[in-house]
Amino acid sequence: MAGLDIICIGAINYDYMFHCTGLDLVETSAGGGDENLSNPISDVENDIQELAIKGKEYTTQIGGSAFITLKVAKHILPNLQVAYVGVCGTPSPFDLRFGKTNDIDAELAHLDNRDWLFTTRERFDDPYSKAIAKSIVRLYNHTRNCIKIAPCANNTLLDRIHEQEARTGTTLAEYLAQARWIHLSSLSDFDQFEAIMQSVIQAKHLNPAMKVSMDPGFEYTSLRRERLQPLIAYADYVFLNKSEKKNLGFNARSARPLYANLCEYFSAINPDPTRTLIVKHDDRHELIHFKDGVCQIRTVRHKKLYQYQLNNDTGAGDSFAGGFISGMLDDRLNSDIAEPIQLGVLAAKGRMRSFDYENPYLNIQKLTDAFFEAL
């Protein structure tokens, strides 16, 4: 199977997004960056049931960071050939009772190749390993307070990869090497992420022209910073928010030591002056490179969305990644990185401005179609 443009690797979750009041918030010490990637399923289901019984408005989606990124890219450029490496569990009676997005086949319709997309139908005696992962997001003033995930079937991914390799005689690295672009987001089990990333590194050796992007997330950049370092060193593009940038810069309090720490972190293993850190801000994107021990920064500005203009910022960063990757793969835009950045901004805004009753992917498609028509 040759000719794939993008392969994304990551979790597939059933996301429940509740609009909450201040009374329903979860107190965290992470300053808005909190994401708990591995919780007992009972904790997540109890939270969902409690808020549903309270009558809180909510929506559901089949999500997962890399899953959203890939779906956005496919809606922007439908001719892209895309595939996903992940495990899609089976909705449980709980999901059929509380969920609102239960047509899994329709949610996966954008995938052109499913050779390494695994399901749990007729597999596993353990109900936890069969179930689709669940996440609960509490939204307050249209921004998330925290996210809790019960990984369920996602934690079976590495075993399924090994089974596929033994059955087909093809390694994951060989499969990945056929793509133009690989994008990864965090998994709840870091050991599995670490092992899968080794296949990505091998794929990059097999196909040096292939680009790799990564959205490591808050937990990896804070709790897994040292183990992440030899993995993130092979990413060409790294998507970070302000909190994640500070985490990787050892939370230095002023700019000069922060950037010096970032430079040291990214230069210690496989230094590459073309590697780009893309740091997302409300009104700009900060592009950071490291060359000869020096940090080089470029700023690409855009119009800020104010609180009254957005409905839900969940998945905005993932949508940005999908727009950016699409722009980098499109010959009309990739002469200057600023243009794919602007396409990513449009994708993020399309998602944030979509109301619960709207399909955010179709709204993103409309915005980006207009962008291309204006070129």
**Which residues form the catalytic set?**
318
Residue type, 158: L
Tokens 């740091």 belong to: 279
Q: How many CB atoms lie within 10 A of CB 232?
A: 24
Spatial distance between the Cα atoms of 58 and 347, rounded to a whole number of angstroms: 22
CA-nearest of 10, 178, 32, 17 to 84 is 10
* Contacts for 234 with CB less than 8 Å, ≥ 6 apart: 197, 200, 201, 204, 212, 270
Tokens of 83: 């595939």
Query: Which tokens is 360 given?
Result: 């955010």
Residue 299, H or E segment: strand 294-301
Alpha helix (H) residue ranges in the chain: 41-53, 65-76, 93-98, 104-107, 127-130, 157-168, 172-176, 190-206, 217-223, 225-232, 242-248, 255-267, 316-329, 338-352, 360-373
